[in-house]
Homo-oligomer: A and B are copies of this chain.
Amino acid sequence: MANEGIHREWASRIRGHEESGHLVESVVEILDCAALCFTEMGFQGTSIDDVARRLGATKGRIYHYFRSKTDLFFEVHREGMTRLMDAVTAAMDAGGTGREKLQRMVEAHALTMMQNVAYEAVVVQGVHLHRLSATTPEQRVILNELMDVRHQFEQLFVQVFHEGQADGSVRETADTSLAVKGILGAVNWMAIWYRPRADESPETQKAMAVEVAGLQIKGVT
């Protein structure tokens, strides 16, 4: 699903320019490498040279698709948000009571954080960057656009929270805004502490996501 996101996005940009399967693969490789570099060294500490070296490619190959390091950073951020959005909307669309939907949405959020830890750490870096005034006007335009997506993401949880309060599955007295921000914070903080163990199975990750979500959902029901 994640790669479909990139495919959709890039196919519309490069139509007619190049054989699309190969291009998408190249772009995904670059984004994967860039996500790792930004996660390990931060936006300030990473150069296009670092990404190229890690990729075992020339800088030219990266500049073929991205104008600048900032462009690359924002594209990783955008892809990280797309993966979160896709996972959470799929969980939301599967129906049930507000509580059931919320539980699945938080599980999907947590699991996506674990499966895409480098991309999602960049998303969290971007959120921090957005808080700072030391950005250029051009960066600010893109950051605002990315923060709009983030706001839409939060609103999905608010909406389902209200559904749950209406159908009686979520505690009516819970403060929606504080509850949703608390839930999202608990999961987003995984970008700080979570790193997959070498022998970690998908089942272990799934069980962790269920536990993380269960703790949060119990708090609001």
A residues lining the B interface (CB < 8 Å): 39-42, 44-46, 121, 124-125, 127-129, 131-134, 174-175, 178-179, 181-190, 192-193, 208, 211-212, 214-220
Contacts and interface: CB of A to CB of B under 8 A. Distances in A.
A160 to B, nearest CB: 16
Given A182-B186, A184-B189, A40 B133 contact: yes
Nearest to A181: B193
* The 4 nearest A-B residue pairs measured at CB: A185-B189, A45-B134, A219-B219, A182-B186
A187 B178 CA distance: 10
Given A179-B215, A208-B178, A211-B175, A40 B185 contact: no
Nearest to A130: B192
A182 B41 contact: no
Given A175-B215, A178-B215, A182-B216, 20 more contacts: A39-B131, A41-B132, A41-B134, A42-B129, A44-B134, A45-B133, A128-B192, A178-B208, A181-B186, A181-B189, A182-B186, A182-B187, A182-B212, A185-B185, A185-B188, A185-B189, A186-B216, A214-B219, A215-B219, A217-B219
